[in-house]
Structure 1
Amino acid sequence: MSVNKNKTEYGVGASGSNFSIPEDETNKVRKALMDAPPASLTARPDQASPALRSAWQSYHSAVDEMRFLLEKSSMFKNPRYRAKAFHVMMEIQAIAYSMTIAPRTATPRIHTNSGWHDDIFSLGLVGADWHYGLLYLDGAYAYKLSGRKGENELLLLQVCSDSLGMPDHRTIGMHDFNDIVDFDENGNYEVIIGGPPRERNWVALDNNSNWNLLYIRTQIKKFGNEDIGEYRIEHLAPVEADLYEQEEFDEAVMAERIHRAEMLMRIYIKEFTIGIWDFANAGSQGKPNVMSPQPGLTFVGGSSFSVYAQGAFSIDEDEALIIELKEAPTSPYWGIMLGDTWSRALPFSRYQTSLNNAQAVQDSDGGYRFVLSIKDPGVANWLDPTKHNHGEMFFRNYFTTETVVPDVMKVKLDKLLDYLPGDTALVSPEERKAAIRYRREGFVRMYGE
């Protein structure tokens, strides 16, 4: 179809011929409409209910209150990380919308792209080795979770009684699908969530909560270049026809959801963005480049199936950290990843900011040594801080009875190989590019982005 600069084309007419409207004509119509008195204006504007207005005002006051907390933190003193603080404030509001306003318990779905996701929603050091699915369910109803297990060894479900930050929020169930679910020969399964107790294939909800929060953690070993399975959620029985309308348009319900958004934002900023950094420094008595242990449920959202270790790193361009596991942990999954000073996961879908037990190269003495350095040293187990001189190191270790805390040693980059085994696995620049491409392709396969 040819383009006439003076015409706006609208496609094919009923007779099959192209038709168009002159652009100057459409401009006249547009101007006349925009110059007319707005039909939306009223002489006496109505107001939202007092509860809704109060919730809105409280939320926006909290936005500035949380910004002030970031600005008076020690991390904000570094000019390099000030812009990221405001990024955090925008991100947390998007998370608050996704986790408290957008969900519909009347028509439940499993949130993946709008859940914890790489560098989009990564506050709290979202795990690089898990595909997360978030559900929001009303305890007054029962649901059917059906799906198919893929190649993953671990498929986990955590049930919380309320949304993050609410006073009644607590973990009420930690479930390993391998223990509670009967799979058929193809890995298919069905689980009833809520309702009367059942002997198998059943998970309890808090019956008194209309906002149960559930996390599905699907282990990924190849960044999504594997079969990660699938799942879906639906009501076990039909619900009243107007429930969706109540969720969408009731002023009291919206006021309550805005309150949830505020409470979630508060706990994210206090316990994740600031709290994880403070916890890492407290565990090492304020010393950088030291890792210390923490239990799984220290922070809201943590998993009691995991023992964590963390620390803050600080390096110059001519330095490197050797992070060492003297022997392989005896657990089905462990992994190490990096975050920034605001406890945001560094972008693991595009950089090698994380490695797990299926990806890391083991040394001939049975241990593992990871190298954290700003410049790529050509070591297979390199952890890329993406030009950050300061940030966080985070170690996850699932289904273990032992507490593993990696040792950390700082060395000069040009002397690095003197401190590593002679047979340390090295990679070429081409191999590094291929590894990053493989990582990126996997995440695009999983999320479509």
Structure 2
Amino acid sequence: MTIDAEAGSLCVRQVFSDWATERPANLVIECIDAVYPPPAALSEADVAARAERLVRWLDKAGAYWDKMCKLSLNAPSNSLAFTPLSESAWGGFQNQAYGMGSFRCAPDEAVILEFTPPSCHYWSFGLGNWYWETVNWFSRQSSLNHAQARLDDDGVFRAVIAHRDPGVPNWLDTGGHTHGTVNGRLLLTDSVPNPTMKLVPFDDARRFLPTETPTVIAAERTEQLRLRRRSAHLRNSH
């Protein structure tokens, strides 16, 4: 991997489709010219330089993510747009499109998210709070990827963003947040679709879904979330 003289960090991302079976890679960064053992202690100048770099990083990263959160939250409510593929390289991946938007719904409302998946290696949607922190993805179905989601017979992904379980497979749990962020990802995609989001009364959500949409009862949801939590812990224990 070729780097220029100004490079100072490396970002590594892994995507997981089947949480129950896929495991993280074991990655190590090693300086091949290093001499061991290393010096017994860092000098005061070395410690000061590292602390200064940390402060600069915190300041820069904090300002950047504050800007990104406001960009999503200030967008029209219940809307999401993907970046053009020509702009994807800044995030670390070629041919990755980032979807950024916001949701806003009251406890008696729901948002219907519709998305036609393109030909791609991976896609996902997840909900976050005001600070772009992911809603508890261990114990709540606050995110779904292409391996977890159910597509309708017409090939469309339809999800219900709601505070309560609407009894459908593609529920995206707000975790109690009435206003938050929606994040989408397309990896190695050949095109960028335009998702739609529609605010509806919670009790009428099924009217906006195909008639063949299955019903998920409470016991089934509990078992799904139990397996989700187990898979998440197993993934993070490696």
1:306 aligned to 2:104?
no
Relative distance call for 1:237 and 1:264 in structure 2 (3 A) is: closer
> Match for residue 241 of structure 1?
36
Alignment partner for residue 137 of structure 2, among 341, 348, 357?
348
Relative distance call for 1:238 and 1:291 in structure 2 (3 A) is: closer
TM-score (norm 2): 0.89
> Match for residue 213 of structure 2?
424
CA–CA separation in structure 2 for the residues paired with 1:228 and 1:311: 30
Secondary structure at 2:110's aligned position in 1?
strand
**Conserved? CA contact 1:369–1:381, under 8 Å:** yes
Alignment partner for residue 63 of structure 2, among 267, 270, 290?
270
Relative distance call for 1:358 and 1:298 in structure 2 (3 A) is: closer
CA–CA separation in structure 1 for the residues paired with 2:23 and 2:140: 21
> Match for residue 222 of structure 1?
18
How far did 1:238 drift?
A: 5.8
How far did 1:405 drift?
A: 2.5
Secondary structure at 1:216's aligned position in 2?
coil
Relative distance call for 1:227 and 1:393 in structure 2 (3 A) is: closer
> Match for residue 113 of structure 2?
323
- Percent sequence identity over aligned pairs: 26
CA–CA separation in structure 1 for the residues paired with 2:171 and 2:200: 14
4+ runs of 1 displaced by more than 6 Å?
Answer: none
CA–CA separation in structure 1 for the residues paired with 2:212 and 2:151: 10
1:213 aligned to 2:17?
no
Alignment partner for residue 251 of structure 1, among 44, 53, 56?
44
Report how many residues are paired.
237
Query: 1:334-377 CA deviation, whole Å, 9 max, x = no partner?
Result: 10001111111112122101001111001112211000001111
Query: 1:168-197 CA deviation, whole Å, 9 max, x = no partner?
Result: xxxxxxxxxxxxxxxxxxxxxxxxxxxxxx
Secondary structure at 2:207's aligned position in 1?
helix
Alignment partner for residue 279 of structure 1, among 33, 47, 71?
71
Letter in 2 for 1:216: V
**Conserved? CA contact 2:78–2:102, under 8 Å:** yes
Query: 1:256-290 CA deviation, whole Å, 9 max, x = no partner?
Result: 22122212212222111x222222246x4xx2111
Higher alpha-carbon deviation: 369-378 or 344-353: 344-353
Relative distance call for 1:409 and 1:234 in structure 2 (3 A) is: closer
**Conserved? CA contact 2:111–2:198, under 8 Å:** yes
Letter in 1 for 2:160: V
CA–CA separation in structure 2 for the residues paired with 1:295 and 1:396: 12
**Conserved? CA contact 1:320–1:411, under 8 Å:** yes
Secondary structure at 2:69's aligned position in 1?
helix
CA–CA separation in structure 2 for the residues paired with 1:322 and 1:342: 23
> Match for residue 97 of structure 1?
none
CA–CA separation in structure 1 for the residues paired with 2:84 and 2:117: 20
Relative distance call for 1:387 and 1:234 in structure 2 (3 A) is: closer
Secondary structure at 2:186's aligned position in 1?
strand
> Match for residue 385 of structure 1?
174
CA–CA separation in structure 1 for the residues paired with 2:177 and 2:206: 22
CA–CA separation in structure 2 for the residues paired with 1:310 and 1:380: 23
Relative distance call for 1:379 and 1:445 in structure 2 (3 A) is: same
Letter in 1 for 2:9: L
CA–CA separation in structure 2 for the residues paired with 1:376 and 1:244: 58
Greater radius of gyration (CA): 1
> Match for residue 153 of structure 2?
364
Instruction: Identify which of structures 1 and 2 has the higher relative contact order when contacts are C-alpha pairs closer than 8 Å and 6+ apart.
Output: 2
CA–CA separation in structure 1 for the residues paired with 2:32 and 2:81: 48
Relative distance call for 1:240 and 1:384 in structure 2 (3 A) is: same
Relative distance call for 1:242 and 1:442 in structure 2 (3 A) is: same
CA–CA separation in structure 2 for the residues paired with 1:237 and 1:269: 33
CA–CA separation in structure 1 for the residues paired with 2:130 and 2:34: 45
Question: Considering only aligned residues, what root-mean-square deviation do their CA atoms show, in Å?
Answer: 2.4
Secondary structure at 1:292's aligned position in 2?
strand
How far did 1:205 drift?
A: 3.4
Relative distance call for 1:376 and 1:278 in structure 2 (3 A) is: same
Letter in 1 for 2:120: S
Letter in 2 for 1:435: Q
Letter in 1 for 2:230: E
How far did 1:302 drift?
A: 4.8
**Conserved? CA contact 1:309–1:405, under 8 Å:** no
